[in-house]
Amino acid sequence: MDPVIITIILVIILIVAFFLLYLMNIRIKQLERELKDVRNRMALTDDELTRLAHDIEDFKRLKI
């Protein structure tokens, strides 16, 4: 094969590979944002945890 044809094929493969890397990078950033949102929604502060423990103790004291 002609070296020019091989070079063109390899350049096309590299361009496609870089484009796929770019798309994967965008998706990773989206997933990181979603993960931060989920962590923020699920994070319990110390006050919330203390209040929850207190509410559980109050519920245990109730005689139902």
Percentage of residues of the chain with pLDDT beyond 90:
61
User: Does residue 64 have a pLDDT over 70?
Assistant: no
5 CB-side CA count, 13 A: 2
Domain boundaries, the chain: 3-61
Instruction: For residue 11, give the nearest of 3, 29, 61, 57 by alpha carbon.
Output: 3
Bigger pLDDT: 44 or 52? 52
Q: Output the pTM of the full model.
A: 0.62
